Amino acid sequence: MTYDRFPHFGVLLVDDEPAFIRSLSLALERHLGVNHLYRCTDSREAMAMISKEPIGLVLLDLTMPHVSGKSLLESIVEEYPAIKVIVISGMNQLETAMDCVRKGAYDYFVKTTEQSRMLDGIRRAIRMQEVNLENQEMRRRFFSDQLDRPEVFAEIITQDKGMHAVFQYLESISKSSQPVLIGGESGTGKEAIAKAIHELSERSGPLVSINVAGLDDNVFADSLFGHHRGAFTGAEKSRAGMVEQAGSGTLFLDEIGDLSLASQVKLLRLIQEGEYFPLGADRPKLSRARIVVATHQNLEQLQYEGRFRKDLYYRLKTHQVELPPLRNRKGDIELLLHHFLNEAAEDLGKAKPTFPKELPALLANYGFPGNIRELRALCFEAVSRHQSKVLSMEVFRSVFTQAGELPEEAGTESPALFEQLATLPTIQEASDLLVNEAMRRAGGNQSIASRLLGISQPALSKRIRKSNASADD
């Protein structure tokens, strides 16, 4: 089943004038992309339709035979308080509008006023209702602590609670049309998360991806929006851009933090108005694609520095996830080792090697600046060199030497380390504490612990024996 309706809840039009319902339906679809519509010309049938259909927003006329709009408004607010109601009436009276708002209407518009103002109000109501429904869904998932579609995340190897929370959040916003901002260091799996977002949405269109880093404004506009024949020198025929290729699917823009300010303006219009101009066109096209963006940069810092538009930043962070780095997912290292070694063995036509039991402990003490991508590369390199049954740890040990320093957790200095202590420990006490911590991080392996401490394994063994002897005396 594919999801191809916008919004994912129904919009009910209640008016006794069929001609107005037809014109409003066309305007909603043409300008806002709203195609999840229900129509009612007899006000007596409205409450029955609301009870049967997934209605989230009602556009309600006031002056109707049989049941008045005011009576319907009161009934909807009382029986279905989660549904938003916008009154669209022929009466341009302030007192009537104020009375409707007091009775629970979300907004009030006059039929004869400017249509764009009314459509903007309906767009705001749809966005607000989406947020309300997403919040309800997030609360439900928080208490259940279960995934409805775990198969979507099957290719993301993890048992980390932080990643599980990300999965729950993505499920709760799966039907939203609003953009999603994926943050995280390079190599944390942002593209895999974008694929999961697309699959969860059940949209009928494809996932179309582009890395926008290094694209100048003209190339960005042509890539996303396409062009008409003759739009510029060399444009001998029209070309559809990626927005059009995505159709009702998902458009994924990677490295969004590198986008130029000029291109940011174009992206903001696409997100806010849901429309775009192909190069050489004088009429806009409507976009039905959901926008997903990713970056390893701090967009908040970039907008403070004037390198990223504040309005675009706040539109993008409507939905935001931050992927934890691998050094904060130490429990996943052994799982990922098994997965990547198996993948490398299949790719290289070798039997999957057995790795030494101390290897996960060694890697748990490495900072992994390249995150999951770096671990995968190390596994492929190790398997390509592998000859015997047990995998050599030499490739993995080499990263510590290449880094030129201890792993992040062990090598990071804290000037406040001793500030909270009333008295300093003795050299022997400090040495014992350091050795004990290194052994804990190394999982009891002296070879790994000695590397963390920057001493030889015999020297570490001597210190441990000396400490044990002192404890026995």
Give the pLDDT score at 450: 76
Using one digit for the tens of pLDDT, what is the confidence trace for 72-117?
Answer: 999 999 999 999 999 998 888 888 889 999 999 999 999 877 788 8
pLDDT higher for 473 or 110? 110
Q: Give the integer Cα–Cα distance in Å for 333 and 318.
A: 32
Q: pLDDT tier at 345 (50, 70, 90 boundaries)?
A: very high
Tell me the H-state helices in 283-358: 299-304, 310-316, 333-348
Of the candidates 396, 402, 406, the one whose C-alpha atom is nearest the C-alpha of residue 450 is 406
Residue 373: pLDDT band with limits 50, 70, 90:
very high
For residue range 30-48, list pLDDT tens digits in order.
888 899 999 999 999 999 9
Task: Note whether 292 and 205 are within 8 A (CB).
Answer: no
Q: What was the pLDDT predicted at 407?
A: 44
Tell me the pLDDT tens digit for each residue of 306-335: 999 999 999 998 899 999 999 999 999 999
Q: Residue 371: is its pLDDT beyond 80?
A: yes
Helices 446-453 and 457-472 cross at an angle (nearest 10°) of 100
pLDDT bucket at 256, cuts 50 / 70 / 90: very high
What pLDDT, on the 0 to 100 scale, is given for residue 2? 47
φ, ψ dihedrals at 418, nearest 5°: -105, 0
- Greater confidence (402 vs 301) lies with 301
The predicted model scores a pTM of 0.75
Helix (H, G, I), strand (E, B) or coil at 195: helix
* Residue 433 confidence class, pLDDT cut points 50, 70, 90: confident
Q: Tell me what pLDDT residue 403 has.
A: 55
* 280: alpha, beta or left? (left if phi > 0; alpha if psi -120 to 50): left
Highest average pLDDT, of 231-235, 272-276, 368-372, comes from 368-372
What is the pLDDT, as a whole number, of residue 309? 94
Quick one: 356 exposed, middle or buried, by C-beta within 10 A (0-12, 13-18, 19+)?
A: middle
Whether pLDDT at 420 is above 70: no
- Distance of alpha carbon 448 from alpha carbon 458, whole angstroms: 12
For 95, the 3-state DSSP assignment is helix
Residue 390 in tokens = 């047990």
- Phi/psi region, residue 187 (left: phi>0; alpha: psi -120 to 50; beta: rest), is left
Alpha-carbon gap, residue 245 to 179, rounded angstroms: 18
Chain centroid to CA 14: 36
Q: How many CB atoms lie within 10 A of CB 129?
A: 20
According to the model, what pLDDT value does residue 220 have?
Answer: 93
pLDDT of residue 448 exceeding 60: yes
Q: Which domains does the chain have, with CATH numbers?
A: 10-136 (3.40.50.2300), 158-324 (3.40.50.300), 327-411 (1.10.8.60), 427-472 (1.10.10)
Say which amino acid occupies 334: E
How many angstroms separate the Cα of 80 from the Cα of each of 55, 72, 75? 10, 11, 8
